[in-house]
A and B are shown apart, each in its own frame.
Chain A
């Protein structure tokens, strides 16, 4: 009996040691920690982000012959949980880079943790932070201003003189409004209203009545996902005849399904990936965008129609490019590697992604230029390039 116990103990010990060995072998590989909103109000964006990341993993599973491990956590659309996830990813999983998330406040929470722990973070949303104080974070999303500038240019071309604004009560509504307020006066356009609604609201009749009473030439909406369809529906119901403009937060197949005919002819900016097949052949991002569509279809068994999964894909491309350079300087899994990776990301030059061409430099969170935006028109439920 005693010898049996001894054998069992030895066996268990050996198994434990082997397990440790396996774990350390894993630790030498690259680790990416992704925290996204798989549940909660932001999950309409978070789920595509996660799917896009799986596609990216399938597209480029290795960097310089080293396997990349992806760890995905759900933040439940809550910034506190996102911060906690970031801490967990860094301390328990020892990730080399953080990526996330679908909400701007949650992404900021993650970036703060990354900054404290000195782990680089590739944001997938337009994070609003002071770049000089946050040298560990950058984002692949287009700056809101770049996108809204395109909308305001289009308004000017369409002879819009006054515009009403209706958007979310949260940070996204503020971001769009502030960008609009910055660009519109320069283009000679007057913003006449600042109406807000919550994502969970059932109706915006009150707000829309107020806007319609002011008779603006156009209405700009600052919403995202399916809740972003509400102003379009209410404006249609009130018989509003002017142009309705959106922004890139609305580029989502579910938005198209819910807004239905009320969104006809709505104009909004987006990354070129949405209309990849309509782009001219010499467009820099056309080829990679087509590749992305193919790999996404293969991994998720469904086509992409949203802009969010493509951000994840671009984040991965930027990471893979930087990691291949950083690996020459340090071994993955170490603090030196994380510094090298950060420096490598900030010296990214002309990495072609699906949304744009990325070139990061220290002192700026963003890495895209005018090549990362097009204006699209919603036409019978399809996005059409509106050159």
Chain B
């Protein structure tokens, strides 16, 4: 192996790592606030990418229908539970929250599918279109079982993944798609070593978004509420933070992250209806390195996974994923030696 080969592999690995970083942040965010390992995260990214591809081929993305149906389901669940509790005065607000709000991106997407719409609008709409998916799924599926054990939540989340990837197959067909690159710039460093603009964009987006994350968590009330829920759900409830609302906020943020990941990687990798799963799985490895709670450790883990994956594919393409997932074993062993595991389990017993 020569130095320039190593450099190319490192850049490739960092670009992939940037994607895993964003996905890892989303996973950690949802897990720490709601205790759900959100497996369908990658599927939402794939939906964003494939919706963008549908726009590019001049089709109306079928995602619109899915979001609309999900919104109807969520609306029905919400109104049903309001009526059951005799709080019919809050129905108009529910209509606005669960009916009108998700319908806006659907309408925008439907309008954007007309010919002659600029690419930038397509990208923005593709991201917006997937933002309601996670909160709506959460309202329909996770909110009624919010106090179930982590294992139950994980199983439900896995089932959701299969549902979503099945819908993806139905909507977008079995074949993959690529979208046109967001930028065709190529930067040349030193003698002949080039970095494509798309890679710079991916790494840049990861840096900017993690910076934004940091600011939101440190400086805003909503961010502090999220952190408080993550630290102790019962305590947060005692000081007046409503876990349902913070959970929805977390799902919304994660969905937005997933949408951004989708449009960022669609030009450099072929996206299939089921490629979200493998992205989610690698991000999960990163999140495990961060213990599913630590954002900085997740970031480090994500970059490590990306670089290891890239070098592994050079040494042995066939065993690439084996090597990446083997990373989990030493990390889990180390964590289980170091961790003081008590609080989580007690919490569950109390509830």
Q: Which A residues lie at the B interface, using CB under 8 A?
A: 39, 41, 43-44, 46-47, 166, 169, 195-198, 200-207, 209-210, 213, 225-227, 229-230, 237, 252, 254, 257-258, 260
Contacts and interface: CB of A to CB of B under 8 A. Distances in A.
Closest 3 pairs between A and B when the two form their complex, measured CB to CB: A206-B313, A206-B314, A43-B174
B175 A254 contact: yes
Contacts of B268: 203
Given A198-B320, A202-B16, A202-B275, A207 B176 contact: no
Nearest to B8: A209
Contacts of B5: 209, 213
A41 B174 CA distance: 7
Contacts of B317: 166, 169, 195-197, 204, 206-207
A252 B175 CA distance: 10
User: Chain A CB within 10 Å — which of B177, B279, B313 has the most?
Assistant: B313
A203 B178 contact: no
Nearest to A253: B175
B292 to A, nearest CB: 24
B201 to A, nearest CB: 16
A203 B313 contact: yes
A174 to B, nearest CB: 11
B101 interface: no
Contacts of B278: 200, 202
B318 interface: yes
A253 to B, nearest CB: 9
A41 B274 CA distance: 9
A156 B315 CA distance: 30
A41 B166 CA distance: 12
A385 B317 CA distance: 34
Contact of A206 (B174, B176, B274, B312): B312
A227 B265 CA distance: 16
Given A39-B169, A205-B310, A225-B175, A169 B272 contact: no
B78 interface: no
Given A195-B317, A210-B314, A203 B269 contact: yes
B47 interface: no
A198 B8 contact: no
B23 to A, nearest CB: 12
Nearest to A42: B174
B9 A260 contact: no
A227 B275 CA distance: 11
Contacts of B321: 198
Given A197-B320, A200-B275, A205-B12, 6 more contacts: A44-B175, A202-B275, A203-B16, A205-B9, A205-B313, A252-B175
Interface in B195-209: 196
B45 to A, nearest CB: 12
Contact of B176 (A198, A209, A254, A260): A254
A230 B270 contact: yes
B176 A258 contact: yes
A29 B153 CA distance: 51
Contacts of B16: 202-203
Contacts of B55: none
B63 to A, nearest CB: 19
B269 A202 contact: yes
B80 to A, nearest CB: 33
Contacts of B295: none
A205 B9 CA distance: 7
Interface in B291-327: 310-315, 317-318, 320-321
